[in-house]
Amino acid sequence: MSRRFKHLPGQVGLCLGVALLVLWSVGPVYWSFVTSITPPNALVSDNLHFWPQTTTWEHYAKLFGATSTSQGNEVASVWPQFSRAFANSLITSLAATALVVIIAAFGAWAFVRLEFPGRNVLFVLVVATLAIPAYTVMIPLYRLMISMGLIDTYTGVTLIYVSAFLPLALWLMRSVYQAMPLSLEEAAWLDGASKLRAFVQIVLPLAGPGLVACGILTFLSAWGQFMVPLVFSPTLATKPLTVLIPEFVTRNYVDYGLMNAAGIIAILPPMLLVLFLNRYLVSGLMAGAGK
Amino acid sequence: MAEVSIRDVTKSYGTTKVLHGVSFDVADGEFVALVGPSGCGKSTLLRMIAGLEEISSGTVSIAGRVVNDVEPKQRDIAMVFQNYALYPHMSVRDNMGFSLHLRGASKAEIAAAVSKAAEILGLTPYLDRTPKQLSGGQRQRVAMGRAIVRQPAVFLFDEPLSNLDAALRVQMRAEIRALHERLGSTSIFVTHDQVEAMTMADRIVVMRAGRLEQAGPPLELYDRPANAFVAGFIGSPAMNFLEAVAEGGQVRLASGQVLEVASAATGAVLYGIRPEHLELTNPDAPGAIVGQVGIVESTGTAMFVAMQAGALTLHAVFTDRPNIKRGDQIGLMPKPGLVHLFDAKTGLRLS
Ligand SMILES: Nc1ncnc2c1ncn2[C@@H]1O[C@H](COP(=O)(O)OP(=O)(O)OP(=O)(O)O)[C@@H](O)[C@H]1O
Ligand SMILES: [Mg+2]
């Protein structure tokens, strides 16, 4: 048996595993896409097809159209709602992401480089909040938000996202900074940089991949949030896509085509973000600092 | 240009004291090597001079000004780190120009200073590379370049050569020394390699376990070590130490042999003789230490011989390639005037 085939069983296993994972994650997306281009009557037919026999863009037309028809009747277009919710999703997710990344970038650095009493206890407390299930704080949080008048505001939703996703980002960034040699900063101080300057010009660029990872994680988590906006975003003022799309289910008709078309559109921003930021997730930025 | 003065400096980490009151001065333009075994506090002391480590007590002054509470960036010091600490995301040019940039120098000034430093260090072809595209030796030069580009008052080096291969070390040793002569700046160079210290420094400061053992010019430390530790640390191969009892111009070795010494010391002593100060003689020559040849190693220029005299082992170095081999009976004659006597208890020099 040649060397090339010695690892064959392992390789077959690996391929199988990869195939399963791809199926697991891409399958639903594929199905959603197929549903979104299938005519409504074919959707409720008895025999399912892996690829629809006739395809249609009518669901997308309904989503983007100025007017639309539903079951033969002219109904109000969903575009105003959809576009509003899309914007809401973008605004709250981007705001939360920006805030989390900025606060984690500076906060984690403080936890690593600044000496202050109770530093480690404080950090453990912050990270420990990750273990608290969201629903246990829902009711007190609701009362708090009401008393501050933050229900159904961008500020309110964004603040909740930040408080929920910041601990993980802080944790991640702390380990990024801990892995960075202090001597780089010291060299910058001796070169004449203030501590802040050394941080911004030397540490931050090298922490780039960590920051990008934090950004991606936070954006994806915020974009996919359902329960928080369900409670705190009752109207279209701040209601995101995740809450709006299920509302396409009406009392006597489930518009699968429309829901899935909306779902496919909703996948685009996080997908583009990940594709765009992926190339900054490179490792090995630290190479060359030492001997 | 500035002199550095260190007065009774101590350092404690919590309850562990790692420096126990060190004092020495570095004159303006002097090249001082700080040597000592691993963990003796060399890096700690250097970092205190740089302002990267707090001073527990005592004072560090640069150019006559006490700098204990002065930020590193205001001390006008450049340091070459043990691990270089190059900025990995910047080109060699930007690494070297960073300090000038921070001082608000103009683009033209920076470019001129960087290209001059690069020329001195032979880095001109590499200015646009990033550190990871350089070899170890080239990185070492960039670290040097970053230090010399702005002509600081004081240069600090923390074992910059420790990871280079032997040939490169010798080359860089000469280059650093030449650079020092050219720039004339005050330099403090930490190393645990005594050959580096001997060859490069105007003055050597020997430390052990957080204390200063002796400070002086290299040859003075070699010729008149203040104590047994310095005697053993300076010089390679290391000095032979024989336990002995001194009385009336004579010492009696543990083997029972009696040797003449030019000293009136009495009591338990350490009899020290450098390997290169032992002469090969016949076993029956008067005053010779007699024993059997053990391991013989030859490098071509020198021959290292270990001689077994009872329980004692003596190391000797010969450059004339005598014809001896393992098992031979030989005599080793200490050259007169080159014997060192130290108090057996305190280790202090007696003769
Ligand atoms: N942060 C710290 N906390 C406690 N002890 C420390 C700390 N840093 C250094 N030490 C101790 O201080 C002593 C001196 O350390 P230092 O790094 O100055 O040694 P060194 O002479 O530079 O050694 P080497 O030649 O190995 O670099 C060591 O015994 C070390 O264990
Ligand atoms: Mg050290």
What are the domain boundaries of chain A?
Answer: 2-56, 79-290
- Which of A190, A202, A287 has the CB atom closest to B77's CB atom? A190
Among B10, B40, B54, B190, residue to substitute to test ligand 1 (most atoms within 8 Å of Cβ):
B40
Atom of ligand 1 nearest to the CA of B36: 21
Residues B166 and B280 occupy one common structural domain: no
Atom of ligand 1 nearest to the CA of B207: 21
Task: Collect residues with CB below 5 Å from ion ligand 2.
Answer: B 43
Phi and psi, residue B241, nearest 5°: -120, 125
- Whether residue B139 and residue A186 make contact (CB cut-off 8 A), yes or no, is no
Whole-angstrom Cα distance, residue B256 to residue B262?
19
Provide DSSP, B68-101. TTS-GGGS-EEEE-TT----TTS-HHHHHHHHHH
- Kindly state whether residue B351 falls inside one of the protein's structural domains: no
Run of H or E including B59: strand B57-62
Q: Is the pLDDT of residue B141 over 60?
A: yes
- Three-state secondary-structure class, residue A110: helix
Whole-angstrom Cα distance, residue B161 to residue B193?
10
Q: What is the mean pLDDT of residues B202-230?
A: 95
- Kindly state whether residue B350 falls inside one of the protein's structural domains: no
Residues B101 and B250 occupy one common structural domain: no
Residue A141 is classified by DSSP as H
Contacts of A133 (CB under 8 A, 6+ apart): none
What is the Å distance from ligand 1's center to A191 Cα?
Answer: 24
- Whether residue B89 and residue A184 make contact (CB cut-off 8 A), yes or no, is no
pLDDT of residue A93: 96
Per-residue exposure over A28-59, b if at least 16 CB sit within 10 Å of its own CB, e if not? eeeebbbbbbbebebbeeeeeeeeeeeeeebb
- Whether residue A205 and residue B77 make contact (CB cut-off 8 A), yes or no, is no
Whole-angstrom Cα distance, residue A264 to residue B330?
94
A23-46 pLDDT, tens digit each: 999 999 999 999 888 888 777 777
Q: What is the mean pLDDT of chain B?
A: 91
A248 CB neighbour count, 10 Å cutoff? 22
Residues B113 and B227 occupy one common structural domain: yes
Q: How far is A25 from chain B (nearest CA, A)?
A: 36
- Whether residue A190 and residue B139 make contact (CB cut-off 8 A), yes or no, is no
- Kindly state whether residue B348 falls inside one of the protein's structural domains: no
Whole-angstrom Cα distance, residue B155 to residue B143?
12
pLDDT of residue A72: 62
Instruction: Using a CB–CB cutoff of 8 Å, tell me whether A179 touches chain B.
Output: no
Whole-angstrom Cα distance, residue B70 to residue A144?
48
Q: What is the mean pLDDT of residues B134-152?
A: 89
Instruction: Using a CB–CB cutoff of 8 Å, tell me whether B114 touches chain A.
Output: no
Instruction: Using a CB–CB cutoff of 8 Å, tell me whether B141 touches chain A.
Output: no
pLDDT of residue A4: 60
Whole-angstrom Cα distance, residue B250 to residue A10?
80
**Contacts B77 to A, Cβ<8 Å:** 190
Whole-angstrom Cα distance, residue A106 to residue A170?
9
- Whether residue B98 and residue A191 make contact (CB cut-off 8 A), yes or no, is yes
Q: Which two tokens stand for residue B204?
A: 């050597």
Residues B46 and B129 occupy one common structural domain: yes
Q: What is the mean pLDDT of residues B202-218?
A: 95
pLDDT of residue A84: 92
pLDDT of residue B336: 82
Give the domain-ending residue among B207, B232, B257: B232
- Whether residue A190 and residue B73 make contact (CB cut-off 8 A), yes or no, is yes
Proximal ligand: closest to the CA of B81: 2
Residues B196 and B287 occupy one common structural domain: no
Q: Do the Cβ atoms of A282 and A272 come closer than 8 Å?
A: no
- How many distinct structural domains can be found in chain B? 2
A151-180 pLDDT, tens digit each: 999 999 999 999 999 999 999 999 999 999
Q: Is A73 exposed, middle or buried (0-12, 13-18, 19+ CB in 10 A)?
A: exposed
Residues B245 and B192 occupy one common structural domain: no
Specify the higher pLDDT residue, A67 or B125: B125
Instruction: Using a CB–CB cutoff of 8 Å, tell me whether A205 touches chain B.
Output: yes
pLDDT of residue A39: 85
B58-110 pLDDT, tens digit each: 999 999 999 999 999 889 999 999 889 999 999 999 999 999 999 999 999 99
**Of the candidates A54, A81, A102, A123, which has an alpha carbon nearest to the alpha carbon of residue A262?**
A81
- Kindly state whether residue B67 falls inside one of the protein's structural domains: yes
Q: How far is B85 from chain A (nearest CA, A)?
A: 5
Q: What is the mean pLDDT of residues B105-132?
A: 92
Residues B212 and B172 occupy one common structural domain: yes
**Contacts B82 to A, Cβ<8 Å:** 183
A51-60 pLDDT, tens digit each: 878 888 888 8
B242-269 pLDDT, tens digit each: 999 998 888 888 878 888 888 888 889 9
pLDDT of residue A250: 74
ipTM: 0.84
What is the Å distance from ligand 2's center to B42 Cα?
Answer: 6
Residues B257 and B149 occupy one common structural domain: no
- The partner residues of B35 in beta bridges, in order of sequence, read B191, B206
Per-residue exposure over A100-123, b if at least 16 CB sit within 10 Å of its own CB, e if not? bbeebbebbbebbbeeeeeeeeeb
Proximal ligand: closest to the CA of B18: 1
Provide DSSP, A164-211. HHHHHHHHHHHHHHHTS-HHHHHHHHHTT--HHHHIIIIIHHHTHHHH
Residues B43 and B145 occupy one common structural domain: yes
Rounded to whole angstroms, the maximal C-alpha distance in chain A is 76
Q: Is the pLDDT of residue B4 over 60?
A: yes
pLDDT of residue A284: 61
Task: Look at A57-61, B163-167, B195-199, B334-338 and tell me which has the smallest mean pLDDT.
Answer: B163-167
Task: Provide, rounded to the nearest whole percent, the portion of chain B with pLDDT above 70.
Answer: 99
Q: B35 pLDDT band (50/70/90 cuts)?
A: very high
Among B19, B42, B82, B157, residue to substitute to test ligand 1 (most atoms within 8 Å of Cβ):
B42
Which CATH number characterizes residue B281's domain? 2.40.50.140
Residues B164 and B194 occupy one common structural domain: yes
pTM metric for this prediction: 0.82
Residues B54 and B80 occupy one common structural domain: yes
- Three-state secondary-structure class, residue B348: strand
Ligand 1, CB within 6 Å, residue ranges: B 13, 16, 18, 36, 38-44, 192
- Whether residue A189 and residue B77 make contact (CB cut-off 8 A), yes or no, is no
B270-320 pLDDT, tens digit each: 999 999 999 999 988 888 888 999 999 999 899 999 999 888 889 999 998
Whole-angstrom Cα distance, residue A92 to residue A206?
28
Residue written as token pair 């053992």 = B213
- Whether residue A181 and residue B83 make contact (CB cut-off 8 A), yes or no, is yes
- Kindly state whether residue B349 falls inside one of the protein's structural domains: no
Closest-CA residue, ligand 1 atom 20, reads B39
Identify the segments of chain A with pLDDT beneath 50.
1
Q: Which two tokens stand for residue B158?
A: 């923390």
What is the residue range of B173's domain? 4-232
Q: B217 pLDDT band (50/70/90 cuts)?
A: very high
pLDDT of residue A66: 67
Proximal ligand: closest to the CA of B158: 2
Q: How far is B211 from chain A (nearest CA, A)?
A: 25
Instruction: Using a CB–CB cutoff of 8 Å, tell me whether A226 touches chain B.
Output: no
Contacts of B193 (CB under 8 A, 6+ apart): B35, B161, B162
Residue type, A29: V
Residues B172 and B242 occupy one common structural domain: no
pLDDT of residue A71: 61
CATH number of A79-290: 1.10.3720.10
- Kindly state whether residue B40 falls inside one of the protein's structural domains: yes
